[in-house]
Amino acid sequence: GFATSPGITEWQGDSLREELRLALRIWPRQNDTGGFFIAVLEKGTAVSPTTPSDNTAPLDIEREPWLTILCERYGFTPAQFSSYHLFRWSRKRLYLAQQHHLPPSKLNADTIGLHFMNVDGKYPKLTTAAAMIFGHLATRNTIDLEPEQVANYVARHDFKISATQASHCTGTGYIILRYQGFTMGVGVYRAHVGLVESLYPKGWIRENIYT
């Protein structure tokens, strides 16, 4: 089984919240893992909603045309993004954050929220991270992969797909790739040759995953 240690309510002479006794601590020596601490905190119903103050900075909201492009390409619905802000953080990048997120005005944040889309090219591209979060909601321009194709994808190799696999694709362009119900990321589908170009992040490349 997965070995754990109980949570603690005291640390180096300081008292901690009593609820932390229900948390779990995991150590490398127990499971051959990195050490970390897990605690789930639930917000009580009596907590008042956060309201803007002079210490928060407004975001440069820019939902369109990006939301329409996504919905047209992947079959998303606007309602699926209704609780999020889409905003520019640079000329090339569109970011996403929960609407209740209020960035501080007195700190120079490197980034805020999730890098959601690259918008500097001819066609905007969903990031791998965004695809992994929202890809299960897509209803078109998705492809379900076979094991050998997954190996090619994570090695950043191009690969062929069958006409059956491409049945949800509307033509050449960016697609969302899945395997056994899990979103792997994005690629480019070349409809005229039945080829997928892997856009798996270069820093994540894995070779020979089945050997």
Contacts of 187 (CB under 8 A, 6+ apart): 143, 153, 174, 175, 177, 196, 197, 198, 199, 200
Q: Is the pTM of this model over 0.85?
A: no
Domains of the chain as residue ranges with CATH:
5-38 (no CATH), 66-126 (no CATH), 137-204 (2.30.130.60)
118: β partners:
93, 125
Question: Which spans in 32-146 are helix H?
Answer: 66-74, 128-134
Answer yes or no: are the C-beta atoms of 184 and 129 closer than 8 Å.
no
User: Per-residue pLDDT for the chain (211 aa), expressed as one digit of tens each?
Assistant: 778 888 889 988 899 888 888 888 888 778 777 766 667 677 777 666 556 556 677 788 899 999 999 999 999 999 999 999 999 888 899 999 998 887 777 777 778 899 999 999 889 999 999 999 999 999 999 999 999 999 999 999 999 999 999 999 999 999 999 999 999 999 999 999 999 999 999 988 888 776 5
144: β partners:
178
